[in-house]
Amino acid sequence: MCSMNPSDASPGASDAVSPEEAALLAAAWEIRGAARCPYSNFAVGAALLDSEGRVWTGANVENASYTLGLCAERVAIFYALTHGARDFTCVAVVTGAAEPSSPCGACRQILHEFAPNAVIISAVADGRQLRTTVRELLPFGFDASSLTTRA
Ligand SMILES: [Zn+2]
């Protein structure tokens, strides 16, 4: 079970993971090898677990026109959504950084809309993690209810 343990809420905290989380992290590490990041050399792998137990993966893809690149998290979730997945419980994000990296602002917005209840596990190669939630990363997020007007 993918869960949020408050004692694990800071980088470098306990690295204990469930078998399900370990498999999700392994999937993220594997897809990270498919990253297309010749400009930043910052490869990222992401894996999402849906409520049916399916795993959806993605890696970052860059372009010579830099702003057109897409983060691993969004590649993974758009892939999942376009294949019918709807309810996500956990997101694993792995990088080669010194410290666990949390999703960027754009990815937080996308996760807020499509995976609002997900736990996020960001990990680095030595196994250290940052465990958080989408709600913690984007409180008061903009969503469909924000579009309600009075007139
Ligand atoms: Zn991002």
Q: Report pLDDT digits (tens) over 89-113.
A: 999 999 999 999 999 999 999 999 9
Q: Is residue 59 part of a domain?
A: yes
pLDDT > 70? residue 8: no
CA 115–ligand 1 middle distance (angstroms): 14
* Residue 55, domain member (yes or no): yes
Check the CA dihedral 65-36-45-88 and report its sign.
positive
- Token readout for 110 is 């996308």
> What CATH number does residue 101 fall under?
3.40.140.10
Range of the domain at 105: 33-128
Distance in Å, CA 147 to ligand 1 centroid: 23
3-class state of residue 30 by DSSP: helix
Q: Which DSSP letter does residue 68 get?
A: G
> How far, in Å, from the CA of 151 to the mean position of ligand 1?
35
What residues act catalytically? Answer: 73
State the Rg of the chain over Cα.
Answer: 15
Distances (CA, A) of 40 to 35, 47, 69, 70, 104: 11, 21, 11, 12, 15
